[in-house]
Chains A and B, each alone.
Chain A
Amino acid sequence: MDLYDNLALGFATVWKIIWLPWPAMGIAIPLPANLLLCFVGCLVGTLVGVLPGVGPIATIAMLLPVTYGLDPIGALIMLAGIYYGAQYGGSTTAILVNIPGEATAVVTVLDGHQMAKQGRAGVALGIAAIGSFIAGTFATLVIASLAVPLTRMALLFGPADYFALMVLGLMFAVVLARGSIPKAIGMILVGVLLSTVGSDLETGEERLTFGWTEISDGLDFAIIAMGIFGFAEIVKNLENPETRNVVQAAIGRLLPNGRDMRQSAWPIARGTMIGSFLGLLPGNGAVLGPFASYTLEKKIAADPTRFGTGAIEGVAGPESANNAGAQTAFIPLLTLGIPPNAVMALMVGAMTIHGIVPGPQIITKQPNLFWGMIASMWIGNLMLLIINLPLIGLWVKLLKVPYRLMFPAIVLFCCIGIYSINNSSLDVLMVAAFGLFGYTLLKFGFEPAPMLLGFVLGRLMEEKLRQSLVISRGSFMTFLECGGTLPFCTKPRLILLILAVLLVIIAALPSIRRKRETVFE
């Protein structure tokens, strides 16, 4: 079977022994370098997941320069580990301290911390880890089995189809964003506008640079992301001094008993499915998974009043959902070359550094990179299960470090990281400028995530739009072509655009709008 061969190639890539020169000793030592990098990624991911106020976006942006010297496969395996590792870590903080370590662990707080107060912190942590592992395993299989057909489909896409697909993706980001729809659309367009800064791809003319040659190569995504998710977030966090009360009760046994497992089995299965699906969607997809899972579990529970008082289903479902979503978010990037969120956009950055163009050609041209990454996700999930539970004591100690000591360190690491990307002190100043920009956005009630997505897709969208119009000799009718009778199109563009329009109409309906507002409360 193909899938089996592909996964075997992937595992072989992860386990590959690489002879690393050791200049100090004058010898080379054999090491499973990719496996070690996977471990490092998972460990760093858990760390930033545990620490509230440091997220995977800022961390990956910070660590980009570190990956310059690494082999591309190892670099990507490590960065991926940071992302899904953070989902594991976020739940630890949610359960023990009553504040989410990551945005995706917001709902875990509700029942997880109640369980901790009842002396069942260990069980909550245990079920979160087990659920995440099951979800991670399932998501790995989803990626592995969807990859080949999706890539084949992507090869049939023309420029107009790509453009329509990105419009649909951005509409998903609008609908899934918090707050008002016009504001979210505004944010997307601002992101697209920012992506046009620099010299034009075709003509080389300088756009929006105002004669400033330093930005004629365009704005760097890592700088924007760091300004908004590093600096603006810190200022925002300083506004509401949090009270951290690490739970005093004993953590208790970690392994859930038979009854806990029976209660959690279906929520884990449902959470995994919901998370896997929502993770595919651009924008807030991965964040929305846990919300959807919690709402569903509460709705179908025999006794919904148990939720909020320490129901194990309220931990098992959402924790599985966020982990599944974090992994399926790789699918659009790896198969279509379209990053669905800010973390994936940084992965594009890491790929470009190593001369890899993300898109459907990766799977055929660099199969060991593609399958190695997928296999590393499963191995990473296994590692997380093993490193997380015994290290709980260490995380608890870390959580006792007050924010007043943590944020200056984050500021310093961010500065060093950004400086090192291009060895440019101007970049550090630009981060400060984008920090101010991001803080202004937050204060005016804009959500910055759609803007980043707009920025990421903007350049590609313009390119595809221009290509399609060249092909159609300037006629927009090309976007309404179907290549058959309507439901059976050979060209997906029309269907994608119809879906995009429907999505916005549905989101604007009064009844849905109210529901949308309650979900994001």
Chain B
Amino acid sequence: MADTSSDAKSEKREGRFVKAPETLAAGVFLLVLAEIGFWGSIGIAAGTLAKMGAGMFPRVVSLLIGALGVFLVVQSFTVRGPALERWLGRGVVFVLGAAVVFGLTIRGFSLGSLVVPPLGLAVAGPLAVIIASLADRETRWLEIILYAAFLNVLCFVVFKQLLRLPIPIAPWLLGY
């Protein structure tokens, strides 16, 4: 199914202006990175070739990245190439979201009036496992909750007891 529809799309695209959408996106992406790089080193002295300042190298590299970006953009209008791949939004949101939630809850944070206390691995761990598991449609609730509990005990034994990493477990309950 998916294959035939993308075939149809690529046929339709033949007469279009942009011949390689993926290459165009790649070129624009490089241009954006070049812009950030140039902007981030703009106020720093470049010095001379004999005594290069801190700003010269990043600026030259940014210019080269920009040049490649332009090259890819031009290429996307002249040489036929692949279409853009679909993004797995569900995967991005939940897998990366799991890391974000872990990072925010493990030692807590405060942002204005929103304050999260340090919750430790006992809370952050299962949260990360459950949120990540939502990325897959096949996830079963009971299974994943039991599994999260099991993993957490395993991590406690391996990382805390055996390897003695200084990771907080449950500061609100145990004090460490």
Contacts and interface: CB of A to CB of B under 8 A. Distances in A.
Interface of A: 65-66, 69, 180, 182-183, 185-186, 189-190, 192-193, 196-197, 200, 202-203, 205, 207-210, 231, 234-235, 238-239, 402-405, 407-409, 411-416, 419-420, 423, 425-429, 431-432, 435-436, 439-440, 443-446, 462, 465-466, 469-470, 472-476
Most chain B CB neighbours (cut-off 10 Å) among A414, A432, A465: A432
B53 to A, nearest CB: 7
Contact of B41 (A208, A419, A435): A208
A405 B98 contact: no
Given A429-B99, A432-B103, A416 B159 contact: yes
Nearest to B160: A416
B100 A423 contact: no
B167 A411 contact: no
A203 B23 CA distance: 38
A414 B25 CA distance: 30
B91 A235 contact: yes
A412 B129 contact: yes
Given A425-B109, A428-B106, A443-B84, A190 B33 contact: yes
Contacts of B151: 408-409, 412
B121 A416 contact: yes
Contacts of A185: 68
B18 interface: no
Given A183-B26, A425-B109, A192 B61 contact: yes
Interface string B66-104: 001101100100000010110110111001111110111
B50 A473 contact: yes
Contacts of A436: 92, 96
15 contacts: A69-B163, A180-B23, A208-B36, A208-B40, A234-B95, A235-B95, A408-B129, A409-B129, A411-B129, A412-B129, A416-B155, A428-B103, A435-B99, A443-B25, A465-B52
Contacts of A403: 136
Contacts of A429: 99-100, 103-104
Given A186-B69, A428-B103, A446-B26, 9 more contacts: A207-B54, A207-B58, A407-B135, A408-B147, A415-B106, A423-B166, A436-B92, A436-B96, A465-B57
Nearest to A69: B164
A209 B37 CA distance: 10
B48 A238 contact: no
B99 A182 contact: no
B57 A404 contact: no
B144 interface: yes
Contact of B103 (A412, A415, A469): A415
A185 B64 CA distance: 10
Given A210-B40, A420-B165, A425 B64 contact: no
Contacts of B33: 190, 193
A92 to B, nearest CB: 24
B68 A239 contact: no
B4 to A, nearest CB: 18
The list of the 6 closest CB pairs from A to B, nearest first, reads A474-B50, A428-B103, A474-B49, A200-B54, A208-B40, A235-B91
Q: Is the interface of B mostly helix, strand, loop or mixed?
A: helix
A307 B69 CA distance: 42
A476 B50 CA distance: 10
Nearest to A209: B40
Contacts of B104: 425, 429
A408 B99 CA distance: 11
B107 interface: yes
A238 B95 contact: yes
A475 B65 CA distance: 24
Contact of B29 (A440, A470, A475): A440
A521 B25 CA distance: 22
A118 B52 CA distance: 65
Contacts of B51: 470, 474
Contacts of A472: 50
Given A432-B99, A436-B96, A446-B26, A404 B85 contact: no
A445 B26 contact: yes
A351 B33 CA distance: 31
Contacts of B23: 180, 445
B68 A182 contact: yes
Nearest to A192: B61
B72 to A, nearest CB: 6
Given A429-B99, A432-B103, A419 B65 contact: no
A416 B64 CA distance: 37
A404 B84 CA distance: 27
Nearest to B48: A474
Contacts of A427: 103
A235 to B, nearest CB: 4
B134 to A, nearest CB: 9
Interface string B24-41: 011001100100110011
Interface in B134-152: 135-136, 138-139, 143-144, 147-148, 151
B58 A208 contact: yes
